[in-house]
Structure 1
Amino acid sequence: MPRLTTEERNALPDEAFALPGRRYPIPDAAHARDALARASEMLHRGTLSQDEYDTIHRKAEAVLRRERM
């Protein structure tokens, strides 16, 4: 997965992030898969709420479905 530069991240619309505050960028399938992995890790660490995890999961899965078409 290519790392987003600051310039690329700043150019993304708010809709390309799973959480408010421009957290968990999911502009493509690779980033969506990474967001799912990181969200699971953060949920188990206790630094992410179940609601936040569910939101990330729902939005990342939508990106993955869109990319499969």
Structure 2
Amino acid sequence: MSKLTTEERNALPDEAFALPGRRYPIPDATHARDALARASEMLHRGTLTQDEYDTIHRKAEEVLRRERM
């Protein structure tokens, strides 16, 4: 998993996060893939709603599509 320093995370715009409260940073493809894996895990644990999972999935796919271009 790619790590963001506190300084790097704080420098990200709100749009780089999948969920409100600056949760699930997805600034690049590496973080997008990690967000997909973690979101699936959290959904199955019951700590993430289906709507939150869908939002993370949609935003992560957008980042991955952008990176492929």
TM range (shorter): over 0.9
**Deviation, structure 1 residue 2:** 3.0
Within 2, Cα distance between the matches of 1:2 and 1:67?
Answer: 16
User: Residue by residue, what CA displacement relative to the aligned partner does 1:16-65 show, whole Å, maximum 9, x if unpaired?
Assistant: 00000000000000000000000000000000000000000000000000
* RMSD of Structure 2 on Structure 1 (CA): 0.7
Residue identity (%) = 93
The separation in 1 between residues aligned to 2:3 and 2:55, in whole angstroms, is 22
Runs of 4+ aligned structure 1 residues displaced above 6 Å come to none
Q: Distance between the aligned counterparts of 1:47 and 1:3, measured in 2? A: 22
What is the TM-score normalised by the length of structure 2? 0.98
Say how many residue pairs are matched. 69
Unaligned runs of 5+ in 2: none
Query: Could you state the TM-score of these two structures normalised by the residue count of structure 1?
Result: 0.98
Uncovered stretches (5+) of structure 1, i.e. residues with no partner: none
Secondary structure class of the residue paired with 2:4: coil
Q: C-alpha distance in 2, partners of 1:54/1:33?
A: 14
Aligned with 1:48: secondary structure?
Answer: coil
